[in-house]
Amino acid sequence: MLLYNSPVSGNCYKVRLLLAHLGLEYETVDVSVVDRARRPELLGDLNPALRVPTLVLDDGRPLAESNAILWYFGDGTRYVPENPYERAQTLQWMFFEQYSHEPYIAVVRFWVAYSGTPERFVDQVAGKMEGGYAALDAIERHLDGRTFLVGERYSIADVSLYAYTHVAHEGGFDLAPYPSIRSWLDGVASQPRHVTIDA
C-alpha cells in the first residue's frame, strides 16, 4: 500500500497510528501541506478533494478522507465496536472531529506552527481558537467519568480525536483546564503499538 502522507498532518497521523496498531506495512510519499501546486498532478485521479491522506491499496484502488480510511481498516478489528449503536457513536465522534474540531484546532496549529507565514492569519486566530475551545469543552464534558469516547474501549473514535488534540498546544491551546482530556490522552498514548506523530 502507498500512503500519500504529510509528517505533520494529524489527519495523516491517524492513518499511520491505526496501521501501526494493526501491524500493517505500507510505503509513504510525502506531500507538502504548504505548497499545494503539484496536488492536481499527484492526487487528481485518486482523491477528488486533493488532500492527504490518500491511500492506494495494493490492487491500485484509492481511498481518501482520514476517517473513512480508519473505518476501512478498523472495521472487523477490536478498534471498531460491533454494536450498531456504538458503531454510530464512533462515526458521530469522527464527524464531530471533521466539522467541529479539525477546522479550528488543526487550522490554528497549521497557521501558527507550520504555515511559515503566521502573520497572515493573526486577525483570524482568536475566532478560530474560540471554536477550538468549544470543541475541547464538548470532549471534556463527555469524557468526565469515561476512559474512552465510545463503549469504554479504545476505538478509531479515539484515534481520530487524539490526532489533533494531543498537539493542540502547538497552536497555543492550553489543556490545563481539561483534566479528563489529559487523562484520556495518556490512555491513548499507552495503547499497545502506539506510535508518535513524529515517529
Q: Which residues bind a copy of itself (CB under 8 A)?
A: 48-49, 57, 61, 63-69, 71-72, 75, 84-85, 87-89, 91-92, 94-96, 98-100, 102-103, 138-139, 141-142
Instruction: Tell me whether strands 62-64 and 54-56 are parallel, antiparallel or unpaired.
Output: antiparallel
Task: Closer to a copy of itself by CB, 49 or 195: give it.
Answer: 49
Task: Closer to a copy of itself by CB, 45 or 119: give it.
Answer: 45
Distance of CA 44 to the CA centre of its chain: 22
Put residue 116 in one of left, alpha, beta given phi > 0 → left and psi -120 to 50 → alpha. left
Would you list the DSSP string of 57-102? Answer: -TTS-EEESHHHHHHHHHTTSTTS-SSHHHHHHHHHHHHHIIIIII
Q: State the nearest-atom distance from the C-beta of 14 to a copy of itself, in Å.
A: 12
Q: State the nearest-atom distance from the C-beta of 51 to a copy of itself, in Å.
A: 8
Q: State the nearest-atom distance from the C-beta of 30 to a copy of itself, in Å.
A: 22
Q: State the nearest-atom distance from the C-beta of 76 to a copy of itself, in Å.
A: 8
Q: CA–CA separation, 60 vs 62, rounded Å?
A: 6
Q: Please name the residue that has the C-alpha cell 449503536.
A: 85
Task: Closer to a copy of itself by CB, 93 or 154: give it.
Answer: 93
Q: State the nearest-atom distance from the C-beta of 138 to a copy of itself, in Å.
A: 4
128 neighbors 108 (Cβ within 8 angstroms): yes
Task: Closer to a copy of itself by CB, 78 or 99: give it.
Answer: 99
Task: Closer to a copy of itself by CB, 147 or 196: give it.
Answer: 147
Strands (E), the chain: 2-5, 27-30, 54-56, 62-64
166 neighbors 109 (Cβ within 8 angstroms): no
Q: State the nearest-atom distance from the C-beta of 102 to a copy of itself, in Å.
A: 8
Task: Closer to a copy of itself by CB, 146 or 194: give it.
Answer: 146
